[in-house]
Each structure stands twice: as C-alpha cells, then as structure tokens.
Amino acid sequence: MSTSLHLDLLKAEEHLSPNPVRLRVIVPFFSVLAILGIAVWWTLFAFRLHAATLQKAVLVTNIEGLKSAHSKVLLLRAQEKEQQAILKQLTFYRNSRICFAETFKRLAEQVPDTVQLTELRVPPPPPPPSTDPNRQTFGPTNVSEAVSLKLAGRASGDAPSVSVRMLLEKIRTPAFTNLIRSAEIPKGAFRQDTFRGPANQDTLLFEITCGCVPRRFE
C-alpha cells in the first residue's frame, strides 16, 4: 500500500485568498473614498455657508436701505391723511357757502327813498382748523350753523318808522324768503339820531335782524 505525501512549500502570506480582491487593497480604497466623500461634503457645506452668509449680508443691507424708505412712506401716509382731513374740512366750508349777492341786489331795489342803510352784517363762519400745531383754531362742531343778517340804517321824512316797517314787510315777501326765513325789528331798535344835531332830530336810527337759512357743513 502506497501513501502520497504533499508538501506545502509556500509561505503563509503567499497563499491565495478566496476573495477576488484582497483586504489590503479594499480597506485603503474605501478609506480614500470616505476621505474624498467627507472632503466633498465639507466643501459643499462651506460653499453653502458662504453663499448663505453673502445672502444674509445682502438682505441686511437691503433692510437697512428700506428702513429709511419705510419711514418716509409712513410719514407720507400720515401727511396724506392729514391733508385729506384738511381737504375734507375745506370741502365742507365750500359747500356751506351762502350767497347773499342776489338778495342784496333785490334789497337795494326795495329800500324806500326815505331809508338809508348804513350796515349789512353777516357773521362769518368759524375759521377752518389751522395746520400749525402751535396755533389751534376750532372749526365747526355741528353739522349746521345758524346764520343771521343784521340791517342797520336811518330813516327820515314825515313817518320814518312807517318807512322802516314797509322795508320789513318787503323783506318778508317770497322774493327774499328763499334765503331770509324771519325778519323783525328788535325792541328798542328805534332811536333818535342825535349825532347830526337838533336839525335832524326827526331822523330815526333803526335795526332789523333776520334769521337766514342755516349754514350746513356736509
């Protein structure tokens, strides 16, 4: 009986591994890949961080630039509201105008020859609000305001008081009632004209007060 002997003369490190790629090749290869991956990741991270920093700086600059513009816009809006309020007030005053021109023209045609008017007075409306904060004026506080008309003068002749009452009755006619709602001679309105001396003591001074249509601020 014969026996075969097999002698392994290769060193242990010379033995072939069953793996197609040896570990001493794989480990360094994947280590390099990992290092390259980490380097690429940090590069991308640094790039994105730099881009975000630049974007933040641009946004901060834009915000600082917009702050003054925003303040100007707020100031302009406040001024716009103030001007609109003033314009609204002025519109109210324009709409509240009462024209006495035609009434005075007709009145001049109705005054008797013995009557002389020396005063026609209509109280003005309250002044509009001032735009100066240090100078406060007060405008109308109500939607409407009563308007009055005062007539004053002197009458002469044989019956001066009769001439004044004739004028009063003419003011009460429909030719004037579209503007003058009421007219009367106040108590004690008749008095002697002593200023011109004794020769004119037959001359009477008189007043007629009239209530007109109200002034409407709307």
For residue 65, the enclosing domain spans 23-95
148 & 113 share domain: yes
79 & 169 share domain: no
**Distances, alpha carbon 194 to alpha carbons 100, 186, 191, 198, 202, in Å:** 32, 20, 9, 7, 9
160 & 107 share domain: yes
39 & 111 share domain: no
Per the domain annotation, does 16 fall within a domain? no
Per the domain annotation, does 177 fall within a domain? yes
Q: Which residues contact 79 (CB under 8 A, 6 or more apart)?
A: none
Rounded to whole angstroms, the Cα distance separating 44 from 108 reads 97
Rounded to whole angstroms, the Cα distance separating 96 from 200 reads 43
Rounded to whole angstroms, the Cα distance separating 164 from 60 reads 83
Number of domains in the chain: 2
107 & 164 share domain: yes
Chain mean pLDDT for the chain: 80
For 135-184, write each residue's pLDDT tens digit.
655 556 677 788 889 999 999 888 888 999 999 999 999 989 889 999 99
SS3 (DSSP) at 116: strand
Question: So what's the pLDDT on residue 34?
Answer: 86
CATH number of the domain enclosing 197: 3.30.70
Q: What is the pTM of this model?
A: 0.55
Cα end-to-end span (Å), the chain: 139
90 & 151 share domain: no
CA atoms in the 13 A half-sphere facing the CB of 51? 6
Q: Which residues contact 115 (CB under 8 A, 6 or more apart)?
A: 153, 154, 155, 160, 163, 164, 167
- 104 versus 19: the higher-pLDDT residue is 104
SS3 (DSSP) at 98: coil
For 50-61, write each residue's pLDDT tens digit.
888 899 888 888
For 24-36, write each residue's pLDDT tens digit.
667 777 788 888 8
Beta bridge partners of 211: 148, 182
Alpha helix locations (H) across 158-207? 160-171, 174-177
Per the domain annotation, does 74 fall within a domain? yes
122 & 43 share domain: no
pLDDT tops 80 at residue 62:
yes
152 & 115 share domain: yes
